[in-house]
Structure 1
Amino acid sequence: MSVYVGVSALYIYALPEEKLIEHYHTMGFSRLPEHQEKFVQRHVKPKYDEGCIFMYQVI
């Protein structure tokens, strides 16, 4: 995908359930450091994803 479209990262907003977060970790997704995660929650995350956890994967 990154070669043909120019995508360099994927991101998701995961439900805050530990089993789900661990599943995404096994798929290669990571969380941001706490201070960056709070910034995303305040400034970037859509209102309808409130309470979800921002996760990303560099491809």
Structure 2
Amino acid sequence: MAGTVDRSTLPAVDGLREGRAGDFEWMDRLDRQLRGAGHGPDHGYMLGAMRLAVSRDMTKPG
């Protein structure tokens, strides 16, 4: 695939907030539940190199 995404056609996503280092423990618990293992240093990398978005409601995974 190649091209540019027309962002005006994407649906709005709500219920998210910017991730922070304090979310790592929760994120690792979620990873272990969903995939059987945490991501270790990956979360720190995501926070420093990309946009890390998480659910505002910690009872709703994501």
TM-score, normalization by structure 1: 0.31
The structure carrying a bigger strand percent of its residues is 1
Q: Which one has a bigger Cα radius of gyration? A: 2
Give the TM-score normalised by the residue count of structure 2. 0.30
